[in-house]
Amino acid sequence: MKIGYFGDGKWAHEAFKKIMSDKDLEIVFVVLRYDKKDQVLQEMAEQENIPVIVHKNINSKEFQSLISQYEADIFVSMSFNQIFKTETINLPKYKTINCHAGKLPFYRGRNILNWALINDEKEFGITVHYVDEGIDTGDIILQETYPITDEDDYGTLLMRAYSGCADVLYRAVKLIQEGKVQRIRQSEIDAVGMYCGIRKEGDEVIDWSQTSREIFNFIRALCFPGPKAISWIEGKKISINKARMIPGAHKYKNIEGQVLGKTDGGLIIKTGDTVLEVLEYDYEGIVRIGDRLKAHE
C-alpha cells in the first residue's frame, strides 16, 4: 500500500517509524506543515529517500497535480494543520484518514489532552477516522481508550498519546489494507458530540474561586511541557507546575487565593472550597504567608 503522509511533531515521528517498519507499506511522499516545517520529520524522510513537500494550499490544483504523480493509495494525516477539501480527500483509492488524540465524537478540535484533564475525565481516547470536510467528524475506523488517574498530568498523557497514536494509526492502516474496516458513524455514538477550542496565551491564568479539585486539574493540565498555570502576587507572576489535593481538607469560607501556610518547598493556598498544596512553582522573590494570588497583575 502506497501512503501519502501529512504530519508534524513527535506524533508524526513515532507513527512514521511504525509504518516504515512494515515492508508491505510504503510512504511515497511526506508533506510538512507550511507555517512550521518539522526538520526532524524532514530528515527522517530524506534518510529513506522519500520526497518531502511543503505547500501553502493542499487543496489547490497545483498541489493536487503534484501529488497525483506518486499514485498513493491513501493519504494519512498525523497532526497536520491544513483542512482537507473534498477533491484532495478523494484523490487516492482509499481516501484520506486522520489520527486524533480524542475520543470522538467527543473532544473534537484542539488541545484535547489539556481539556480532558481540565474536565476531570477518567480516560482519554485516540481515534483514527476517515476525513470529511468537517472538523474531526468523519466515520470512525478504530478507537482506543486509555485511563487517566490522579497521578497523571499533561506530560504523562502526552507520552502515552505519542506511542498510542502510532499504534492505533498503524493498526487502522492495516485494517484498510486488509479490507477489514467496519465504519462507525459518529452520530451513532452521539448525535451532538463536542468541540474544544484552541487554547491561547492568557488561558493559563488560575481562577482561585474554583474548587480545589478544579484547580488541581487545571494546574496538571498545563504543566511542563505546557505553558504552566499562572497567578500574580502584587504584580509579579508566579508559575505553578504541580499541586496536590489535601486529603480531609475542610470546606470553609475565606480569602480565595491567599497563602495560608508553607510546607517543605510548598505553599498552602485557599481555594473556593478547601485548600490546595502547591508543590512546584517559579517566583522571583519570597512568597509569604498572607500573600494573595490573583488572576491579574
Q: Is the pLDDT of residue 297 over 90?
A: no
Q: Does 112 score more than 90 pLDDT?
A: yes
Is the pLDDT score of 296 beyond 90?
A: no
pLDDT in tens, 168-211: 999 999 999 999 999 999 999 999 999 999 999 999 999 999 99
Q: Please report, rounded to a whole number, the percentage of residues in the chain having pLDDT higher than 90.
A: 97
Distance CA 27, CA 45 (A): 9
Interacting residues of 83 by C-beta distance below 8 A, sequence separation 6+: 59, 133, 135
Half-sphere exposure of 205 (CA within 13 A, CB side): 14
110 with 248, same domain: the answer is no
Mean pLDDT, residues 47-60 taken together: 97
Buried b (16+ CB within 10 A) or exposed e, 207-228: ebebebebbbbbbbbbbeebbb
| 80 lies in the same domain as 160 | yes
Q: Is residue 86, in this structure, part of any structural domain at all? A: yes
Instruction: Identify whether residues 159 and 260 lie together within a single domain.
Output: no
CATH number where 103 lies:
3.40.50.170
SS3 120: coil
Q: The C-alpha cell of 189 is what?
A: 455514538
Residue 202 maps to a domain: no
pLDDT tens digits for range 212-269? 999 999 999 999 999 999 999 999 999 999 999 999 999 999 999 999 999 998 999 9
Distance of CA 121 to the CA centre of its chain: 14
Task: Check whether residue 153 and residue 251 sit in a common domain.
Answer: no
Same domain assignment for residues 134 and 235: no
Last residue of a domain, one of 138, 165, 196: 196
- Identify whether 287 is part of a domain: no
E strands present in 131-258: 140-147, 195-196, 229-233, 236-245
Distances (CA, A) of 162 to 55, 142, 154: 25, 16, 12
> Does residue 88 sit in the same domain as residue 148?
yes
Picking from 196, 229, 255, the residue at the C-terminal end of a domain is: 196
Distance from C-alpha of 243 to C-alpha of 275, rounded to nearest angstrom: 11
The rounded distance, in Å, linking the Cα atoms of 15 and 284 is: 41
207 inside domain: no
**Shared-domain flag, residues 83 and 221:** no
Model confidence at 77, pLDDT cuts 50, 70, 90, reads very high
Q: How confident is the model at residue 22 (pLDDT cuts 50, 70, 90)?
A: very high
Specify whether 225 is located in the same domain as 107: no
**Residue 233: domain span:** 212-282
Are residues 133 and 84 part of one domain? yes
Report the percent of the chain where pLDDT is more than 70: 100
Could you tell me if 180 and 245 lie in one domain?
no
What is the per-residue pLDDT for 265?
83
* Single-letter code of the amino acid located at 133: E
Looking at the structure, tell me whether residues 56 and 187 fall in a common domain.
yes
The CATH code of the domain that includes 235 is: 3.10.25.10
Burial 265-297 (b: 16+ CB within 10 A, else e): ebbbbbbbbbbbbbbbbeeeeebeeebbbbeee
> pTM to 2 decimals?
0.94
The strand pair at 2-7 and 74-78 is best described as parallel
143, 231: one domain: no
Q: What is the distance between the alpha carbons of residues 191 and 115, in angstroms, rounded to a whole number? A: 21
Confidence of residue 9 (pLDDT cuts 50, 70, 90): very high
The CA distance from 152 to 221, in Å, is 9
**Over residues 92-116, mean pLDDT:** 97
The answer to whether residue 289 is domain-embedded is no
Count how many domains the chain has: 2
pLDDT (0 to 100) of residue 49? 97
Asked if residue 204 belongs to a domain, the reply is no
Calculate the average pLDDT of the chain. 97
Task: Kindly report whether the peptide bond that precedes residue 227 is cis, defined as omega within 30 degrees of 0.
Answer: no
Q: Is residue 290 part of a domain?
A: no
Helix (H) or strand (E) holding 252: none
